[in-house]
């Protein structure tokens, strides 16, 4: 049996204690503000004006902050924030409205009459800077932070959604259709290499300079990939049907030969019997 020397044991104990302190510190600063009601779309088109909203409750618990301010960040353009202060009966006691992509509202005090907040941000969806496939392009629609003057800032939550242009969505959908067509052709036993090459070209155009011509080229290549894949699938199915017919025909021919041979043998036996 091997034994651990005392210096190594001491180092391990020290590391364990440090890890425990770090974990305890992180757990102690966890934000427990609830967001029971969220109104956030999954996606939005660039240039579209949207509104997202959140309800914040449990404002002064874990950690026990008696006073703090709300920080809000968004990548929405021309953003306007509207914050309703509500009492424990759900009545709005005050409303603040501020403009900007990075704002601070408050402070809120535990000994006041504000028990929850209704946060709403309205703005224009930005255009994606880069397009990649198959990932969806996303932007930060809202990030809410609990701030204390002279103290630490704790993130409440961050919300991101998919954004797109009309052409980029058309191109991505057509590329997905091409992928499905290629998979269908492969399942049918085809090897649609030409379709695969055109699909890769479509993806390259999609991830190009992100202008209308690139998306149009992506759509065109994806459509050609679909045509090639469907043609390859049709040929594979026809080949499979032909092989099936040949197989059944061969089996039928063998059956006919066996039956014919059996009849011939039987007649031969009858003729031999008559001559006897």
Q: Provide the pLDDT for residue 268.
A: 64
pLDDT tens column, 124-167: 999 998 999 999 999 999 999 999 877 778 899 999 999 999 99
User: What is the percentage of the chain residues whose pLDDT exceeds 70?
Assistant: 74
Asked if residue 139 belongs to a domain, the reply is yes
112 and 47 share one domain: yes
Integer angstrom CA distances of residue 212 from 167, 168, 209, 231, 263 = 7, 8, 9, 29, 76
**Same domain assignment for residues 234 and 123:** no
Same domain as 180, residue 153: no
Average pLDDT over residues 13-32: 40
- The domain in which residue 54 lies consists of 34-164
| Domain presence at residue 13 | no
Q: What is the mean pLDDT of residues 236-262?
A: 64
129 and 67 share one domain:
yes
**Residue 134: its pLDDT value, please?**
92
Residues 151 and 80 in one domain: yes
Within this chain, do residues 110 and 135 fall inside the same structural domain, yes or no? yes
Report the number of distinct structural domains present in the chain: 2
Answer yes or no: do 182 and 141 share one domain: no
List the CATH number of the domain containing 66. 2.60.40
Q: What percent of the chain has pLDDT over 90?
A: 46
Report the pLDDT averaged over residues 41-62: 92
**Do 160 and 38 reside in the same domain of the chain?**
yes
Q: Is the same domain home to 83 and 151?
A: yes
- Residue 66, in any domain of the structure: yes
Same domain? 54 vs 108? yes
| Same-domain check for residues 156 and 176 | no
Predicted confidence (pLDDT) at residue 231 exceeds the cutoff of 50: yes
Do the domain assignments include residue 127?
A: yes
> d(Cα 253, Cα 66) in Å, to the nearest integer?
93
Mean pLDDT of 117-126: 96
pTM more than 0.75: no
Q: Is 23 a domain residue?
A: no
Q: Are residues 113 and 51 in the same domain?
A: yes
Domain final position from 142, 164, 186: 164
């Amino acid at each position: 049996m091997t034994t651990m020397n005392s210096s190594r044991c001491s180092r391990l104990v020290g590391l364990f204690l440090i890890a425990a302190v770090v974990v305890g510190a992180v757990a102690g600063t966890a934000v427990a503000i609830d967001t029971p009601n969220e109104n956030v779309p999954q996606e939005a088109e660039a240039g579209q004006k949207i509104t997202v909203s959140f309800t914040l409750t449990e404002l002064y618990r874990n950690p026990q902050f008696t006073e703090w301010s709300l920080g809000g960040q968004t990548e929405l353009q021309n953003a306007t924030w509207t914050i309703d202060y509500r009492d424990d009966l759900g009545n709005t006691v005050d409303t603040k409205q501020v403009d900007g992509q990075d704002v601070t509202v408050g402070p809120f005090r535990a000994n006041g009459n504000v028990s929850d907040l209704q946060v709403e941000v309205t703005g224009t969806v930005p255009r994606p800077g880069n397009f990649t496939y198959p990932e969806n392009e996303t932007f930060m629609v809202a990030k809410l932070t609990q701030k204390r003057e002279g103290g630490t800032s704790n993130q409440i939550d961050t919300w991101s959604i998919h954004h797109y242009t009309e052409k980029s969505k058309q191109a991505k959908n057509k590329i997905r259709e091409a992928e499905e067509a290629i998979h269908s052709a492969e399942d049918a036993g085809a090897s649609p290499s030409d379709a695969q090459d055109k699909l890769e070209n479509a993806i390259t155009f999609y991830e190009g300079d992100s202008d209308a011509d690139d998306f149009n080229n992506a759509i065109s290549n994806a459509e050609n990939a679909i045509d090639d894949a469907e043609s390859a699938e049709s040929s594979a199915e026809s080949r499979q049907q032909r092989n099936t017919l040949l197989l059944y025909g061969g089996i039928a021919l063998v059956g006919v030969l066996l039956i014919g041979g059996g009849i011939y043998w039987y007649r031969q036996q009858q003729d031999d019997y008559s001559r006897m």
